[in-house]
């Protein structure tokens, strides 16, 4: 399906035709320091494992990437606890899936505004300072949620306000982090770095929701939010230890500001249909295929699996995503990266449909959510690789801002869509129809933006 580069260390035989290409390796390969003939079963097994396992080279070669990665891992676990706790609290207050979905609506405007306006700032200021400042702000919002829960003053308006503040801060924090990564490691290790970021993210979306469900069930909402607030101590400390990360500019290059800088970012994206299509296909997947807003009503009313079951539903996509990220060693060898994105998003939508059809068999339904998570992480790695290798550093903040606006705004629009359809028809219909529309959307994108399916690694956008 995907065209692969030659495996690492292999040489192409001269004259090998098309699909009959073959590669050869040296007759002896070292394993654990001992030379082993390459034809032995042990050598073949070792080669397969090395080809699948995620490459941890970026963590080894870059102290700053290690700091950024480990700090974000801890704080992301805390944020995922809040992602379970906040919809749970809103559902308890309102008994309405629409009100849960509206969390996404109140967050989308500040997220879009912050992401767009932050881009030029990220391209002008030290990215380390922006990361530190926004991490502190995010920790404070989690503290405000905990305070409201302890004092029983968490009205719906209060919760929506905090959700809006968190979205605005994330609209600066996420693109600043994304734009910083290419300056921390060599370009050839970027695909591996993005795969490791997916390992970090998917680990958090397993541990965070599962832990959040247990904390809510055992000790209550206030302690769930408090745990989130405490995890920011790690990410703030790690960010303080980073070296300065000013954007790289050519000598004599100006620094556009305000609307001119924003227009420059969008002007770069507009004539590049491959970039545009990566944004559009992610919106398709998240708006139609993300049923997160109906998880509370499914867990508490329909399936009756309680807060612990709610945590498992939120964590299940992360299990599949973690498997996908840990076995992403093959990703750098894929040449037809655009086709890989199309196939991955199709699998995502089909798995969501399967979840809707099987969810009353709870653990079978969870397994399909895991398949969806696997497909999502593969799509994310390819889309990030296409984006970051194509964009010059002077524009990375602005393009990353647009990218983050899409990847974090899409799920919020998806929450609103899923919650509205669940209220108007049924939660089951919301899940199944959303997954089906996602698959249809992929076909439409492939038809009207064929450049994505034809895109190959290293090709000009």
As a whole number of angstroms, the distance between CA 307 and CA 211 comes to 10
User: What's the token pair of residue 176?
Assistant: 């600043």
How buried is 147 (Cβ within 10 angstroms: 0-12 exposed, 13-18 middle, 19+ buried)? middle
What domains lie within the chain, and their CATH numbers? 59-243+263-454 (1.20.1250.20)
27 phi and psi angles, rounded to 5 deg: -65, -20
Where helices occur in 246-305 by DSSP H, the ranges are 258-269, 273-289, 295-297
Contact between 168 and 160 (Cβ < 8 Å):
no
Running DSSP on this structure, what letter comes out for residue 246?
A: P
What are 381's two structure tokens?
A: 């790695």
Give the DSSP letter of residue 335.
Answer: S
In the block, residue with structure tokens 């109140």? 106
pLDDT at 365 (0 to 100): 95
Range list of H helices, 123-182: 127-150, 156-180
CA distance 433 to 125: 44
- What does the CA dihedral 261, 445, 420, 289 come to, rounded to 10 degrees? -100
Token readout for 283 is: 């919106």
Please give the DSSP secondary-structure letter assigned to residue 13: P
How far is Cα 202 from Cα 342, in angstroms, rounded to an integer?
A: 21
| Residue 455 to residue 335: CA distance in whole angstroms | 9
- Ramachandran angles phi, psi of 29, nearest 5°: -120, 135
How far the first Cα of the chain sits from its last, in Å, is 22
* Three-state DSSP state, 31: strand
Query: CA 448 to CA 460: how far, in whole Å?
Result: 19
On the CB side of 161, CA atoms within 13 Å amount to: 8
Do 285 and 165 contact (CB within 8 A), yes or no? no
| Cβ atoms of residues 163 and 293 within 8 Å | no
Tracing tokens 């929701």 back to the chain, one arrives at: 209
Give per-10-residue mean pLDDT for the chain (461 aa): 41 34 40 50 52 78 93 92 92 89 87 82 86 95 94 86 93 86 82 82 85 91 94 94 78 58 80 89 91 90 90 89 81 83 95 95 95 91 78 75 78 88 93 96 94 82 66
Q: What angle do CA 72, 75, 77 make, to 5 degrees?
A: 110
């Amino acid at each position: 399906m995907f065209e692969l580069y030659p495996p690492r260390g292999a040489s192409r035989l001269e004259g090998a035709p098309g699909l009959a290409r073959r590669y050869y390796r040296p007759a002896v390969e070292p394993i654990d320091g001992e030379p082993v003939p390459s034809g032995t079963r042990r050598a073949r097994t070792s080669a397969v494992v090395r080809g699948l396992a995620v490459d941890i080279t970026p963590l080894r070669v870059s102290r700053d990437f290690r700091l950024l990665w480990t700090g974000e891992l801890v704080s992301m676990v805390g944020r995922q606890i809040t992602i379970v706790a906040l919809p749970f609290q809103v559902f308890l207050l309102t008994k309405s899936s629409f009100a849960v979905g509206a969390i996404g609506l109140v967050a989308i405007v500040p997220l879009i505004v912050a992401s767009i306006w932050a881009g030029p700032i990220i391209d002008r200021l030290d990215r380390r300072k922006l990361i530190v400042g926004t991490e502190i702000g995010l920790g404070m919002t989690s503290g405000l949620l905990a305070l409201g829960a302890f004092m029983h003053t968490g009205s719906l308006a209060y919760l929506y306000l905090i959700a809006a503040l968190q979205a605005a801060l994330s609209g600066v924090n996420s693109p600043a982090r994304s734009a910083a990564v290419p300056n921390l490691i060599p370009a050839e290790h970027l695909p591996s770095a993005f795969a490791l970021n997916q390992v970090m993210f998917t680990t958090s979306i397993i541990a965070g929701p599962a832990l959040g469900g247990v904390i809510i069930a055992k000790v209550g909402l206030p302690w769930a939010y408090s745990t989130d607030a405490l995890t920011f101590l790690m990410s703030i400390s790690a960010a303080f230890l980073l070296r300065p990360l000013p954007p790289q500019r050519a000598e004599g290059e100006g620094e556009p500001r305000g609307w001119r800088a924003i227009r420059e970012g969008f002007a770069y994206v507009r004539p590049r249909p491959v970039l545009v299509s990566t944004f559009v296909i992610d919106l398709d997947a998240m708006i139609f295929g993300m049923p997160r807003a109906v998880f509370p009503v499914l867990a508490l009313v329909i399936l009756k699996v309680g807060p612990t079951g709610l945590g498992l539903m939120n964590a299940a996509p992360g299990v599949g995503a973690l498997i996908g990220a840990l076995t992403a060693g093959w990703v750098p060898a894929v040449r037809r990266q655009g086709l890989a994105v199309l196939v991955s998003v199709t699998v995502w939508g089909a798995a969501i449909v399967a979840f809707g059809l099987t969810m009353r068999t709870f653990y079978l339904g969870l397994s399909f959510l895991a398949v969806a998570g696997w497909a999502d992480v593969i799509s994310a790695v390819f889309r990030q690789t296409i984006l970051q290798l194509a964009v010059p550093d002077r524009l990375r903040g602005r393009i990353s801002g647009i990218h983050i606006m899409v990847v974090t705004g899409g799920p919020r629009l998806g929450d609103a869509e899923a919650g509205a359809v669940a209220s108007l028809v049924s939660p089951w219909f919301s899940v199944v129809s959303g997954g089906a529309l996602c698959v249809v959307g992929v076909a439409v994108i492939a038809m009207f933006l064929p450049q994505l399916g034809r895109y190959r690694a290293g090709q000009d956008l």
